[in-house]
Amino acid sequence: MAHLQQVSTAQALWRGFTMRCPNCGTGKLFGRFLKVVDHCSVCGEEFCHHRADDFPAYVVILIVGHTMLPAVLAVDIDYAPPMWLEFLIWLPLTIASALALLQPTKGAIVGLQWQLGMHGFAASKLRGSARIQAQAAVDPPEAGTWNWCRHPVRLLPHHSKRRASQ
Ligand SMILES: [Zn+2]
């Protein structure tokens, strides 16, 4: 069962960095630029528990600052270009690289929080495992052929509520 498989820290970080669900690696982690989805549309894993806050911004500043500043100094020392040219090159480059890194960095941090079971993620994982085991007891899968990520409807509670009301 894919949902119950252990995901390593490196795997969770990479899946988050590529803006995918750290649990299944398939569903999208973001609804909008920096808006994390409430739950994975593929496996149903909950992401409303993340507390990335402004930590991604600190990490991005750290990375961009430590790559841009040496480059600016090296170009300035070697070529001494006019100030207007330096602003023309480095300002857009710094802004673009910060914006490009912000979403993947936030994804990696959410992936890390999810993997470590921080905040509400541990309880959420337990609820997900219990739901899967309960469903497997009611509807046992054929050995080795069942893929939970391909059947997200069974994992999402709002679907079962809708079905019950019909
Ligand atoms: Zn997922």
Residue 112 Cα, ligand 1 centroid: separation in angstroms? 15
- Domain extents for the chain? 2-165
When pLDDT is cut at 50, 70 and 90, the band that residue 117 belongs to is confident
Residue 46 Cα, ligand 1 centroid: separation in angstroms? 9
Contact 104, 58 (CB under 8 A): no
pLDDT in tens, 125-146: 777 777 777 777 776 555 554 4
pLDDT (0 to 100) of residue 140: 59
Residue 78 Cα, ligand 1 centroid: separation in angstroms? 49
CA-wise closest residue to 17 among 91, 115, 118, 95: 115
Task: Please determine, for residue 156, whether its predicted confidence score (pLDDT) is greater than 70.
Answer: no
Q: Specify the residue for token string 């480095």.
A: 90
pLDDT in tens, 71-115: 999 999 999 999 999 999 999 999 999 999 999 999 999 999 999
Residue 79 Cα, ligand 1 centroid: separation in angstroms? 50
pLDDT in tens, 23-79: 999 999 999 999 999 999 998 888 888 888 899 999 999 999 999 999 999 999 999
pLDDT (0 to 100) of residue 1: 40
pTM above 0.75, yes or no: no
Q: Specify the residue for token string 């890390």.
A: 112
